[in-house]
Structure 1
């Protein structure tokens, strides 16, 4: 069944909704599915297709093109070479033999290396280049590192539409073409956390740059379209800023109950001091929600027992994940227990070299925590409170 929806006269959404996909990159959970958005822009003289969907949905894209009666495509604009944007490219260049595949130099290099297109069929697009379709022109905006080095955005000035690639998108399967902001906010934040957050500095630069464009619609490559651009732009501005919130993220794992007792105690101690706590039992938590929690938090406290002389692998994974995502978190500590010794603390701290964190003294108990250990947790909670107050005051003073 075809699904062609007109955004503006001559501008169509012709991508595919993937209701059932539950894992992306063999890592990222998709509790709400996703979409692979592809857009067709038809000018008076020429036609451009923007992005080419995942290979699993190639038939859907081709059916949508057929439903529009498209016999010729002049430009296939590849904004980003990742497979969910290029999965049907091989079939498209066969179906439309006169088409030119256009993208950034790095993107085209990747497409040729992947065997998706002959270099003779390509056209390099540079920042500021304009593709004139006749009455409609696409201006190219170079946007490397949101989230690959090859990314470009495409701006359709006549209709004030920004085709934003992965930037400003969300993994969300929905029947609505335009974003329900109450629904899409969490999906967009999770998407930012898992995919965009490591490139926060680049995102800030690109947000500033696109603020110079008149934009009525933002059409990303995943998730619904934004008919009120300020919603998603403001959200990204907040997430990518240096400001943090009075929050502690508390991922933990416990084998015999000792670390859990310490985790529960410090969670209650922090809450009693007016600090919001986001607690994650790593044996059954959605890692995407942990990533989302890291977007705003001032502090991360990792709870782990000692296992075979080192940190529990799940706790170490949480540290590695935080290191990869590079949140703006300012402070960290470690709590947990041990039996006969080991290198738990060293492993956790060495797993987070990318984070510029101030480390509070760890609280590690031998066996089940004793009264003295709980008092040390109280002192840790006091230290966190003092630093949070100092930080919140400094942030308020700069507003």
Structure 2
């Protein structure tokens, strides 16, 4: 076993060890990380795990977080000749596992990148350079030689829309990236101390996997067809070897219990047709923000009896239009969906952009005639999707999720004790509008839960509901403007930004703005503005608490005061 440490940050270390024949694990140990930026608080740090498999040809499974750039790349160069690296397998494109893929490709320009179609499309936006690629689907195999035959398992939504697992028949190791992992930093390579890790293992499942319990069940069903699994090569925490049966059994039990009670949407798409998979991924992400589970279904390969069962237990159905050819297997799935849907379900339709899509409006009319409710307007693809198209897809998914959870939200509002909700409502706050522009994408949100949080550096916190459209534009590193509304002169702006905008709509139409130095709009009629950058995020049940540094600002009317918001009750805005 070899351990390297970063001299500047001695709490970042690298651990390498041979875990099976011709198989080496590279673990990037992040000892002091106490928050996973867009997920949840950590008690025991985390690790980012990567693997090298060497047969007659060599494959790298995943990379590492960019904070480990020098440590990781130095370790990798010590272990293999990168000019001879044949394959880079991308389990999914979340930056903590793919943040260094661009660097690896610069050192191994002849390597072929292997991943799902969606992963390779996402990767294009990350590396900004040409690379050799190979799309793999469920059941596809890759022979590295010397017995190392790899089989790929489709596992979307665990917990990224483009996830695949990789199984090595020679060593009986299953590489699962986020699934079955945990945020636990320890020099022990394996899970020999179950008592030490089981609380973090369950917490990790509840935060990342429980919202997609049905996807967990589907992935585990495919896992069962592989054969014996001796080791699970996780993306975070210790590798599973001593307690594989016990811990996978817990996943299965938790997921089955969760699936019995959760609200589910069935999202049907055709992975290798047009832009179906990528559009589906953004719609799925929007739904997930509302706490509704998504079950993604391949229209060409799914058993028709299973299709009817999935539709029967779902509260909503979304369809990416398949090819119009009647001989395409997706048409059987479409017929099964129509036979299984029932009144009071919600539905959504989008064109997949393959060039000869099944006509979308006749299908919309059929659903309406069957008593289903449209959750969002039809998404039509005329040309190559843009950032605005993907934003429209995500916001459409969020609209559908909010429609399905409306009754639950009302019930929760009524659950407060009357005295408590009145007391909580006496906490007053200012009135603000957050505005942001990121490339082609723009967003705005009326905010009242804003507070100064630090002097050095100057910083504020903002509470953002998880299902707000702007939430996707307020990730770590994103920049925006915080506009302060003026007492006695805020009603017009407040009325405008309280409107429910259709997915993809321009939030600033008819509003006077000017451009900040960070590219975001400043509201001309605001009392003051501050330019901010997101530094970190903390999960608080139904909100994110976003901490931001403030680096520029101006007051336009020094004699005026900030508009103040007084609520009667503390269980709603």
Could you say whether these structures have the same fold, taking a TM-score greater than 0.5 normalized by the shorter chain as the test? Answer: yes
Shift of 1:318: 11
Contact 2:119–2:163 under 8 Å retained in 1: yes
Shift of the 197–66 alpha-carbon distance from structure 1 to 2, 3 Å rule, reads same
TM-score normalized by structure 2? 0.44
User: Is contact 1:311-1:343 (8 Å) kept?
Assistant: no
Q: Which runs of 5+ in 2 are unaligned?
A: 5-13, 260-411, 430-448, 450-461, 468-538, 544-565
Contact 2:182 2:201 in 1 (8 A): yes
Counting only pairs closer than 5 Å after superposition, residues 309-328 of structure 1 correspond to structure 2 as none
State how far apart, in whole Å, the 1-side matches of 2:145 and 2:463 are. Answer: 57
> Given the alignment of the two structures, is residue 121 of structure 1 paired with residue 132 of structure 2, yes or no?
yes
Note the C-alpha offset of 1:15: 2.6
In the alignment, structure 1 segments of 5+ residues that lack a partner are 245-299, 325-339, 349-399
Quickly say closer, same or farther: Cα 1:305–1:145, change in 2 above 3 A.
Answer: same
Instruction: Give the aligned length.
Output: 277
Residue aligning to 1:342: 568
Structure 1 CA distance, aligned partners of 2:129 and 2:198? 40
Match of 1:172 among 184, 188, 207: 184
Tell whether 2:446 aligns with 1:220. Answer: no
Within the candidate set 177, 182, 190, 2:195 is matched to: 182
The answer to whether the 8 Å contact 2:137/2:154 transfers is yes
* Shift, 1:168, TM fit: 0.6
Could you say which structure has the higher helix fraction? 1
Distance 1:134 1:28, change over 3 A: same
Alignment partner, residue 15 of structure 1: 27
Normalising by structure 1, what TM-score?
0.63
Paired position in structure 1 for 2:218: 205
Aligned match of 1:52? 63
Please report the RMSD computed on the Cα atoms of aligned residues, expressed in angstroms.
3.2
Checking the alignment, whether the CA contact within 8 Å between 1:140 and 1:154 is kept in structure 2 is yes
CA distance in 1, matches of 2:112, 2:93: 15
Q: Give the direction of change, closer, same or farther, for the CA distance of 1:112–1:32 in structure 2 (3 Å limit).
A: same
* Residues 428 and 567, structure 2, Cα contact 8 Å, conserved in 1: no
Distance 1:58 1:315, change over 3 A: closer
Is the deviation greater in 74-83 or in 53-62? 53-62
* Counterparts of residues 231-270 of structure 1 (less than 5 Å): 231-242=246-257
Is this contact kept in 1: 2:39–2:207, CA < 8 A? no
> Aligned runs of 1:103-122 on 2, under 5 Å?
103-114=115-126, 116=127, 118-122=129-133
Query: Structure 1 residue 311: deviation in Å?
Result: 11
**Alpha-carbon deviation of 1:229?**
1.1
Taking the TM superposition and a 5 Å limit, the aligned residue runs for 1:43-192 are: 43=55, 45-71=56-82, 72-114=84-126, 116=127, 118-135=129-146, 136-179=148-191, 180-192=193-205
In 1, the alpha carbon distance for the partners of 2:28 and 2:162 equals: 23
Distance 1:316 1:95, change over 3 A: closer
Trace 1:4-43 onto structure 2 (pairs within 5 A).
4-43=16-55
